[in-house]
Structure formats: structure tokens, C-alpha cells
Amino acid sequence: MLPICGTNIPSDTINGFSKSQSNSPFLRLKYQPSHIGVLPPAGQKAKLILTENGTIPSSPPPAQVTNNDEIIKTMDYPTEDYTLVPIYCSIKLEACASCNIEIEYEPPSWHFSEFEIDKISKCDEPNLLDKACFDIEIIEERAEQTIPYLATLSGVSDVYSRTSIWSIPNRRKIKTSGNSALIVVALRNVESNLQLLNYLNALFPMNVVVYGRQY
């Protein structure tokens, strides 16, 4: 079992990095993997769970923020007083050098209609800070770049692919082109949305299958 998030997610950190003390921009912290998950040899499977104890991280209590402009500004550089941002956590999966990874998961279309999928917040809308949100991204980095320096920061694309499970709601598998992938989870207040909470309980554990690369 490989947990994406730790057992305790402090409200003032992202992936273990302090939002109030670090000079790194918010997006850099979001895509900085908190730990590495070493996968088994080709032909075997691993299971990806959300936390070590199987629970869903709870969002911190909402802060009393009255200025909408300030809310939008703090989305890029959160401070310790700003608690409405989603919880972010991640794991970088690594397989053997000659392997590929396939991630199997329960598709959103099994739990939500097209209309409901459009209404689910993917944690990327600063005007919906009080709404439950959830997203998982599977990211492959380019060999000559590193994930923390996103295109919005460095001016060049630094990922080979970046896929949300919501982008194709009926898809059940994502196979990587290389031997590693970054899994990033974002969530906020999911306990307030029973349908979303039920989906998370059905989604995990996710299977990760390791394949030997064919030449």
C-alpha cells in the first residue's frame, strides 16, 4: 500500500512545506512531491491509498475573510491565516528504468452524470472557496525539466503530460510513457458533499500495474 498523503495533514503546510515560512510560490509547493513510492518489478501491482490509515483528510475550519480580492490574491501565495485553500498532497511513483506504469481507477462517470461532473469543483476556482472540491492529476515530467517549475513560473512547458481524472470521465486507465509519474491530490470540504465522499471511498485503493517496456 502506497499512501498519497501522510496520516496527518497540517492546515499550514502543503506537502510538508510551510506556506507561511517558505518563499516558494504556491504552485511550486503544490507540485513538489512529498515522498517517493518505489513500485514492484514488472508484472506486479501496487495499491495506491489516500492516507496510511485509510481516512480522508479533513479541511481546516474556514477563515473569516471578507475581501474577495484578497482571496484571489492569496491563491498564488497563501499565508498562515488563509485556510480556505484546498489540501494538496502527492507521491512520485517510480518503477524500474525499463518499465511503464498503468494506473487503474474507478471512473467519475460511474458515480456522476454529465451535468453533475460539470458542477463538481476541481479545486481550481477561486470564487468557490466554500464549496467541496476534489481532483487527482497524473503528471509526467520532461526529462530535461523538473516538475516544481511549472510553465506559469518558468515560461516553458516542463511536463510531458498532465491529466486530471475528470478530463475524460469514463476513462478507467492511464498508462505512462516512462517509468515515473507524479500523483497530485487536491481536496477541500469533501465531507460536506455526500456524493463526492462516496466516490472517494469507492476510488481508493487504486491499482498501479508495472509493465516491462516493449522495444
Tens digit of each residue's pLDDT (9 = 90 or more) over 125-158: 766 667 889 999 998 876 555 544 444 444 445 6
How far is Cα 210 from Cα 33, in angstroms, rounded to an integer?
20
Within the chain, strands assigned E span 2-3, 13-14, 17-18, 36-38, 45-49, 87-94, 99-104, 133-141, 159-164, 173-175, 180-188, 206-212
- pLDDT number for residue 116: 92
* Full residue range of the structural domain in which residue 52 is found: 2-60+68-212
Residue of higher predicted confidence among 24 and 95: 95
| Domains: count for the chain | 1
Q: For 10-26, how does the pLDDT look when each residue is reduced to its tens digit (9 = 90+)?
A: 444 554 445 554 444 44
Residue given cell 528504468 in the structure block: 97
Residue 56: the pLDDT is 81
Residue 172 CA to residue 178 CA, distance in Å, equals 19
